[in-house]
Amino acid sequence: MKLKDKVAVVTGAASGMGKAIAELYAKEGAKIIVADLNLDGANSVVEGITSNGASAKAVQVNVAKKEDIDNMIDTAVNEYGTIDILVNNAGIMDGFEPVGEISDDRWDQIFDINTKSVMRAMRKAIPIFLEKEQGVIINTASTGGLNGAHAGATYGASKHAVIGLTKNTGFMYAQKGIRCNAIAPGAVETNISSSMTNISKFGAERTKVVQGVIPGVGQPEDIADVALFLASDDSRFVNGTVVTADGGWTAAF
């Protein structure tokens, strides 16, 4: 087991990539905090994990709220004594809006969920990692954090910021036993499209040419395998970087 006796917190873990990551980590021996706004879904994931003999606890978390983030990390410590792995996976999409169509409220909402929550969770976990001189952070970014035409301006900007935060953190704490990396998934079969509202006709039309060259759609398990590598000692010398998992999509441009 690659994560035996480790304690992992996974956000957005009630479905999609977060669920797949939580389940794989549990299979590899980790104790899991299954964090999600959807408590029923989180409880369902916990039931599946515990039925296979592993340990997990569901926590309802609105990642846009600081108190929920703090409670999530505190729950891991109170329940399991520590935290070893933090996976910031929760996120929402925009509606492909170009900058001329962005509203302040939507910008703030997407950044609160996609970016500020990542910072807050990392900030809360870092003192624990520093005390034990060990810790792993994995942030779900996106190919939209590397390119300009995979989504709208707000989503792209929020994921670019996550990548910048990841690189800075990896470098800053590199000599403190803390590693921080990001995964940039391409097209993956999840329910994130349900967060899309008021889709921009202009923006969607402009991204068609890029969407049209997607070589294939991945499964959540494809991303979970990358997340396991980054959480385990197999990646002990991988730090402050982004692993692109898109089936070759961005290799074309």
Q: Tell me which of 25, 80, 155, 173 is the catalytic residue.
A: 155
DSSP string, the chain: -TTTT-EEEEESTTSHHHHHHHHHHHHTT-EEEEEES-HHHHHHHHHHHHHTT--EEEEE--TT-HHHHHHHHHHHHHHHS---EEEE----------GGG--HHHHHHHHIIIIIHHHHHHHHHHHHHHHHT-EEEEEE--GGGT-SSSS-HHHHHHHHHHHHHHHHHHHHTTTTTEEEEEEEE-SB-SSGGGG--S--HHHHHHHHHHHTT----B-HHHHHHHHHHHHSGGGTT--S-EEEESTTGGGG-
CA-to-CA distance for 39 and 58, rounded, in angstroms? Answer: 7
Active site residue 80: no
- The residues annotated as belonging to the active site are 155
